[in-house]
Amino acid sequence: MLDSLTIGLTGLVVLVVLIAIRIPIAYAMLLVGGVGTALLNGWPIVLSQLKDLAYAQFSTYDLSVVPLFVLMGAIASRTGLSADLFRAANAWLGWMRGGVAMAAIAACAGFGAVCGSSLATASTMGRVALPELKRYRYSNRLATGTIAAGGVLGILIPPSVVLIIYAIIVEANVVTMFMAALLPGVIAVFFFILTILAYTTLVPGSGPAGTRADRSELIASTLNIFPVLVVFMAVIGGLYFGLFNPTPAAAVGVVMVALIAVLRRKLTLADSRAALLETARTTGMVFLILLGAELLKIFMARGGVPQAMAEMMANSGLAPMTTLIVLLAALILLGCLMDSLSMILLVIPFFWPVLVEINGGDYGSAAQSPFGLTTEELKIWFGILALIVVELGLITPPVGMNVFIISAQAPDVPMRDTFLGVMPFFVAELIRVALLVAVPGIVFVLPRLLGG
């Protein structure tokens, strides 16, 4: 008779095999979690859990924010906001060497703040910015690499569905997570712009300067993005200053983006239907993954796998910072194989107990912590680090979903060039991770300033 830990570890191996043979992650987790729990406790327990978990998960008020932010992004991608953002950024930056690429990064950040999705940001900005980058004769590597890398800004700059799911898993405050994510997101934009500047300096001719906009064009293009600023301030500003909670904020965002689309006559009935269907599909996928992840988590907890991993890492003799780096490196590798949401749901229940153990337990104080953080602060800091390295999976071979999206929009550019084009941005992201690991206080600037 196998003991519970052996069954749990075997289930983990089976899960990896199922993912490797391309079984959808939700079904893989449901299968392993269900069969594993049946082996430990019997099928009646599994059926009872499925019934109770499905209701408990899908009726959770905190999760109602997910379809609302998804709908907000779906409508935003159909309103022409991305084109307005790019035109405004290009008017201000396009005259410099590499300026059109810098404008694309700035526009990706702005659109990500409304959309909240990396894939949607890359896809939408690719349609808008790639033709302009080609028109100004930017090198294929810089043009496609910039848009693919710029897309990752959508996953960290609030609002972000993945950030919300992480906060729910570790029981962190969503608003505090949003506050903590904003400054690292701004740092990413700054590093990406520096990367473009360095690239165009080292590779002359890769990013020619564009034309300088006159004053009237600067004013007109800036006024055109005023609605985006209003939406951002209403949603994110309202959250930061305590005017409302995440779910009402998302509802306000949906109404405002829809109103902008209607006033601009950019939202047809067909667009509305497509946005609603996209939201339904995405929400269904997210909730099914959540159900599978919860069932798998219960099975693994009963098998003692997370506890065994935590004890093994705590007794390994590795320094706490080395353990953190190992976990982050594992996230980067896993990001090459699966999408960001699935990875967060699958991995965090295993990694989080390890960090709690080496940080001094559930109620660890900053004085006892090897990182100088309480357990509550560790939730925030590790969440931001985890999301940044999850971003890297979107531009890393062999999956690199953003790269595939941009390659589909630029079929004349070899995929190898696009992967090579994102490598400088990959290095910039590693530098950002190193900075946040070395100086955790960066993450807490806004939460402490605004009392989060």
Mapping DSSP to helix (H, G, I), strand (E, B) and coil, where does residue 80 land?
coil
By CB neighbour count within 10 A (0-12 exposed, 13-18 middle, 19+ buried), where does 317 fall? exposed
Average predicted confidence (pLDDT) for the chain: 87
Q: What is the DSSP string of 226-244?
A: HHHHHHHIIIIIHHHTTSS
What's the pLDDT at 451?
66
Over residues 20-40, the mean pLDDT reads 88
What's the pLDDT at 364?
67
pLDDT tier at 268, thresholds 50, 70, 90: confident
Let me know: does 147 contact 407? Beta carbons within 8 Å.
no
H or E element: which one contains 417?
helix 415-438
What's the pLDDT at 426?
94
What's the pLDDT at 83?
84
Over residues 147-162, the mean pLDDT reads 86
Let me know: does 436 contact 184? Beta carbons within 8 Å.
yes
pTM of the full structure:
0.87
What's the pLDDT at 186?
94
What's the pLDDT at 307?
78
In whole angstroms, how far apart are CA 209 and each of 95, 138, 205, 206, 434?
A: 5, 9, 9, 10, 32
What's the pLDDT at 309?
79
What's the pLDDT at 62?
80
What's the pLDDT at 310?
75
Q: Tell me the percentage of the chain whose pLDDT exceeds 70.
A: 98
In the chain, the N- to C-terminal Cα span, in Å, equals 50
pLDDT tier at 390, thresholds 50, 70, 90: confident
Tokens 């994102």 -> residue? 422
DSSP alpha helix (H) spans, 95-214: 99-115, 118-135, 140-151, 153-156, 161-170, 174-202
Q: Tell me the percentage of the chain whose pLDDT exceeds 90.
A: 27
- Angle, helices 118-135 vs 99-115, to 10°: value is 160
- Check pLDDT > 60 for residue 1: no
Q: How far apart are CA 160 and CA 280, in angstroms?
A: 17
Over residues 93-98, the mean pLDDT reads 90
Let me know: does 323 contact 353? Beta carbons within 8 Å.
no
- Check pLDDT > 70 for residue 173: yes
Over residues 148-167, the mean pLDDT reads 87
- Give the CA angle between residues 357, 360, 364 to the nearest 5°: 125
- What one-letter code names the amino acid at 94? G
- Check pLDDT > 80 for residue 338: no
Q: What is the pLDDT of residues 31-89, one digit of tens each?
A: 999 999 899 888 888 888 888 888 887 887 888 888 988 898 888 878 778 888 888 99
pLDDT tier at 434, thresholds 50, 70, 90: very high
- Of all residues in the chain, what percent are helix, strand and coil, respectively (each to 5)? 80, 0, 20
